[in-house]
Amino acid sequence: MQTTLIFLKPDAVQRGLMGKILQRFEEKGLSFVGMKLVQVSEDLAKQHYAEHAERPFFPGLLKFITSSPVLACAIQGPNAVAVCRTLIGATNGQKADPGTIRGDLGMSGANNLVHGSDSPESAERELALWFTEGELTGFIKTANQWIYDPSDLD
């Protein structure tokens, strides 16, 4: 099982799309093992987006991500990073495939509804920024026997 960070960005929160977006992950068979509404501080935003610090869009990104609460989620499942990124879709909602979250609900490249860790290594780093020890549960959903073949869990 792999755990990844997903957070619903200020535009998703303000547009009232949290339930609809969360439902997509849950219906896929992924498990939520942590969740909290966070007013992102500038310090957390700078740490999270450190790799973009020198990019021209960085100041706007900081302003956007700190403008309204986000819903931070730790999501678990086999190959959770890749599965979640596929569900989210391409960065720009106008170019994202129909059937993806951004393709169905988004129209922007900047206000793009959802963040998803881009690798297992990023997920580990990001989860440590957003969740403290003890905030993530380790439960196993009993429904997993109906969602996954045992070979999916190897």
With residue 7 as reference, give the H or E element that holds it: strand 2-8
SS3 of 10-69: the string is HHHHHCCCHHHHHHHHHHHCCEEEEEEEECCCHHHHHHHCHHHCCCCCHHHHHHHHCCCC
> Which residue type occupies 107?
M
Among residues 4, 115, 116, 131, the one annotated as catalytic is 115
In angstroms, the CA 132 to CA 61 distance is: 24
With residue 9 as reference, give the H or E element that holds it: none
In angstroms, the CA 11 to CA 102 distance is: 12
Residue 74's nearest CA partner among 129, 18, 3 is: 3
Is 48 considered catalytic here? no
Catalytic residues: 115
